[in-house]
Amino acid sequence: MGKTYVHRPPSPKYNSRRDRIAINTKIIAGAIVQIVSSICPSKMNRLVCLFWIILITVYNTVMMIINIIIKA
């Protein structure tokens, strides 16, 4: 159904960790866009799905920050 991404060893072209992180971020973002596009074909549904993804991400981030503050 979907593509499986395998961890690859560093290549001479992308030899710094920062380059690999940027590439992995773009791959993940592209995968999210493809998933949302296939689940929600209409523009309005896509906006609602993206809104929920953003809302869940923000909620999880806030909860992590609160947990870090409480534990500190």
Q: For 13-67, what is each residue's pLDDT tens digit?
A: 555 666 666 677 788 888 878 877 776 667 777 788 888 889 999 998 999 888 8
pLDDT at position 3 is: 60
Determine which helix (DSSP H) or strand (DSSP E) holds 32, and give its type and residue range.
helix 17-39
Supply the pTM of this predicted model.
0.39
Chain-centroid distance of CA 10 in Å reads 21
SS3 content of the chain, % helix, strand, coil (to 5): 70, 0, 30
Could you state, in order of their start, the residue ranges of all structural domains in the chain?
1-39, 42-72
